[in-house]
A and B are shown apart, each in its own frame.
Chain A
Amino acid sequence: MLIQQLVNGLTLGAVYTLIALSYSLVMGILGVLNLAIAELFMLGGYFGFAVVLAQLPLPLALIAGMAGAALVAAIIERIGYQPFRTAPVVTPMLSTLGFSIILQNIATNIWGSDPLQLTDEVFAERFDIGAVSISAIQLTVLGATIVLVALLAFLVQRTSIGRALRAVAENRDVARLLGVSAGRITLIAFMLSGSLAGAAGVLIGLHYAAITPYIGVEIGLKAIAVMVVGGTTRIWGALIAGPLMGVVEVMTVAYGGSQIRDFVVYGFMILILLLRPQGLLGGSRRNQDQRV
């Protein structure tokens, strides 16, 4: 059973990693916690479901989820972030909270509060390797996480857009002096993080085959914890922290008891923070100053 639980933990961890990366993109570059990412994840799931339920091919579902979420992310950037560029970070965070509320309400009014379910599971074949059972969709989620993270790495490290993103993260004013259009870059950062969240929504939605307008809430909080444990200044921290937190959570349920799960998971997060206040891969302590 141990190996099976490890597989469960890694799958959960992949889920956390994808969403944590979305948070991390905006957090690392702009220092802002975009609380609406949980709802972009949720919307991605709904857009993906709409495509699948209309009997259209799966890649279209992924595109629909990513594009739809990116579009909404762009709206959030214009209205929820731009006016607050110079305000203390808690203000844009709360304005994204406002968007969270709006998006949950809209989703409830369009799709209802009951779970929307897929009649037939997608990629439902299971592979039994010894005592371990893993489904095709689970493998897809794991694989897609790796691919998306690799793509993101390539984008950030090797392309000019990535360079511009990193420049703005370092120092906005200097970046502008060097000809980087900060406004355009923040829009790109938001849309990129939105499309990542949307992709996560489609994949995870298809995996669990049932979504509600509120699936983003709990998972969003855990994903923020993952981002923090990984270190917000380095987006790869999420790659380590995601599987770590996923495995801790699953192992607690498997061997400690489900009742204490949240207690242990958040306790673990606090422990890591106390030992390494900037997160596992976080930069030097100097970098963590936020305007509160």
Chain B
Amino acid sequence: MTSKSMSVLMAAGLMAAGATASGPAKAADAEIVLGAIVPSSGPFAEWGRTNTATLQMLEKQINDGGGINGAKLRILILDDATKPAQATNNLRKLAGDDHVLAVAGPLTSSAAEVTFPVANEMKVVSTSQASSKPGVAKLNRPWAFRNTIDEGVLGRTTVPYYKQAFGIKTVAIIFDAKDATAATVGGKIMPGLMKDNGIEVANANDPLSFNTGDLDVSAQVTKIKALNPDGVVVSADYSQAVTVIREMKRQGVIKPVVGSTQLISSAILKAAPEIPIVAPATFYASMSGDKPEKFVKELTPVLRKISGLPPEIEPSMYDANIYEIGSIYIEAIKKAGVTGKPEDLETDRTKIRDYMAKLAGFAGLGGPIGFNEDGDAIKAFYIVQGQNGAWQSKVRGCSAPDGKQGC
């Protein structure tokens, strides 16, 4: 390529970028703008792309229904490429240049840890659809929220069910040391929960871990096999957990597996169908109920039309979460007197924040939703067991603090 054609290409690119970046100069002055940060490229590209489709579906549903108080809804979606630094700049752009009323995202805890402080600085609500590392929103009040439940809270219901369902007396724990959430769950939360439930951790003084991206975990699984526990805790994102579970199957370690929300996916059900997997979920594609079934029915064909996604793709928990976040923002706008006018931007954002802080009983896909003072969701969750290719709901729990109704 000659340098001349290079410069032409770059100029064209810059012009196109400038056109898209300069924001709306459209005639419609009645417009409600929301922002979203999703990882559409990089190792979690699939989540970002399904999230994008979900938000676009929500936008269309709202606008087809007449908009919000007559105004058109626009959701600006930016890709953070799974890089936390890009997520922070995305929020700065959405809040500062595009004047959005609220932001859905970022997805990962690593991105949330650095983006939430910026949300506080710029005074705009940012709600993560997937971050479940304990304490992330708590450190960044009042503008940070998460439509997820702290893994420690979920574990308190997961582990007792696991123990009772399979008669577990000893476990071995293996976790992804490079993933902050997985390492916290596997290194701190699960050992504590096991102790609380009278389950012995067979490898208590010899933590077993691997790194994100590892292909071979044969050494670790051989050690697990030698310990012969009743069950195995696999604390890792499902794409890594698949590696562990397949190795377990290969080496003949057919023991029930338990983990965090990170395991919830359809991919993990294919890894070793004969190994039961127990994990908490706030949503799964085969959930029963009017709202979830309608959601799945509408979203699935949209997802399956997107190129580059697996043909049997189904809506995931993160899609459900971000759909709920968008819906909560829309309800907040409708009911809190948000005007959408440029001069009211600061007060509008504050109204949304206050509405969310007080939220209770919002009709989510899996049950009512509210937020606690840490910014995490008070919502129903389900302990699901995956076996032979499907998730089955076993226990319904609620993440409200003990003694309070919320779900």
Enumerate chain A interface residues (CB-CB to B < 8 A).
1, 4-5, 8-9, 11-12, 15, 105, 108-115, 117, 119, 121, 124, 126, 133, 135, 204, 208-210, 212-215, 217-219, 249-251, 253-254, 257-259, 261-262
Contacts and interface: CB of A to CB of B under 8 A. Distances in A.
Given A112-B45, A114-B267, A133-B252, A254 B242 contact: no
Nearest to A12: B216
Given A113-B46, A126-B250, A253-B219, 7 more contacts: A108-B45, A110-B308, A112-B308, A126-B252, A210-B246, A215-B213, A258-B208
B150 to A, nearest CB: 25
Interface of B: 41-47, 177, 206-211, 213-216, 218-220, 222-223, 226, 239, 242-243, 246, 250-252, 265, 267, 270-271, 307-310
A8 B250 contact: no
A108 B308 contact: yes
B226 A209 contact: no
A276 to B, nearest CB: 27
Contact of A257 (B43, B46, B207): B207
A8 B211 contact: no
Given A108-B45, A218-B214, A254 B219 contact: yes
A33 B149 CA distance: 46
Contacts of A5: 219, 222
Nearest to A124: B250
A253 B43 CA distance: 26
A204 B215 CA distance: 9
A214 B213 contact: yes
Given A1-B226, A115-B242, A258-B210, A208 B46 contact: no
18 contacts: A1-B222, A8-B219, A11-B218, A12-B218, A105-B41, A113-B42, A115-B243, A119-B270, A121-B246, A126-B250, A208-B216, A218-B214, A218-B215, A253-B220, A257-B207, A258-B219, A258-B220, A259-B209
Nearest to B174: A258
Contact of B213 (A126, A208, A218): A218
Given A135-B250, A209-B246, A258 B209 contact: yes
Contact of A117 (B46, B215, B271): B271
A249 B316 CA distance: 36
A208 B243 contact: yes
B320 to A, nearest CB: 17
Contacts of B250: 121, 124, 126, 135
B176 to A, nearest CB: 10
A121 B252 CA distance: 14
A114 B239 contact: yes
Contacts of A8: 216, 218-219, 222
A210 B243 contact: yes
A133 B226 CA distance: 12
Nearest to A2: B222
B285 to A, nearest CB: 14
B222 A113 contact: no
A105 B42 CA distance: 8
A3 to B, nearest CB: 10
Choose among B226, B265, B307 the residue with the greatest number of A CB atoms under 10 Å from its CB: B226
B266 to A, nearest CB: 9
Choose among B219, B307, B308 the residue with the greatest number of A CB atoms under 10 Å from its CB: B219
Nearest to B247: A208
A246 B283 CA distance: 41
Contacts of A124: 250
Choose among A113, A212, A213 the residue with the greatest number of B CB atoms under 10 Å from its CB: A113
A121 B272 CA distance: 10
B219 A115 contact: no
Contacts of A217: 213
Contacts of B42: 108, 113
B284 to A, nearest CB: 16
A114 B310 contact: yes
Given A258-B177, A259-B177, A210 B207 contact: no
Contacts of A112: 45-46, 308-310
B334 to A, nearest CB: 36
Given A1-B223, A258-B210, A117 B270 contact: yes
Contacts of B214: 218
A214 B211 CA distance: 13
Contact of A113 (B43, B177, B216): B43
B43 to A, nearest CB: 5
Contact of B41 (A108, A115, A126, A218): A108
A115 B208 contact: no
A108 to B, nearest CB: 5
A50 to B, nearest CB: 13
A176 B246 CA distance: 51
Nearest to A250: B219
A208 B246 contact: yes
B211 A262 contact: yes
A113 B44 contact: yes
Contacts of B43: 113, 212-214
B71 to A, nearest CB: 35
Nearest to A16: B216
A210 to B, nearest CB: 5
A217 B212 CA distance: 10
Contacts of B223: 1, 253-254
A8 B251 CA distance: 11
B265 A114 contact: yes
B239 A212 contact: yes
B270 to A, nearest CB: 5
Nearest to A133: B251
Contacts of B307: 109
A259 B208 CA distance: 7
Nearest to B273: A119
A229 B346 CA distance: 60
Nearest to A211: B215
B361 to A, nearest CB: 34
A155 B406 CA distance: 71
Contacts of B45: 108, 112-113
Given A114-B239, A133-B251, A208-B243, A219 B215 contact: yes
Contact of A258 (B207, B246, B251): B207
A135 B216 CA distance: 14
B217 to A, nearest CB: 9
**Which 8 pairs show the lowest CB-CB distances between chains A and B?**
A8-B218, A253-B219, A218-B213, A113-B45, A258-B209, A250-B219, A109-B308, A113-B46
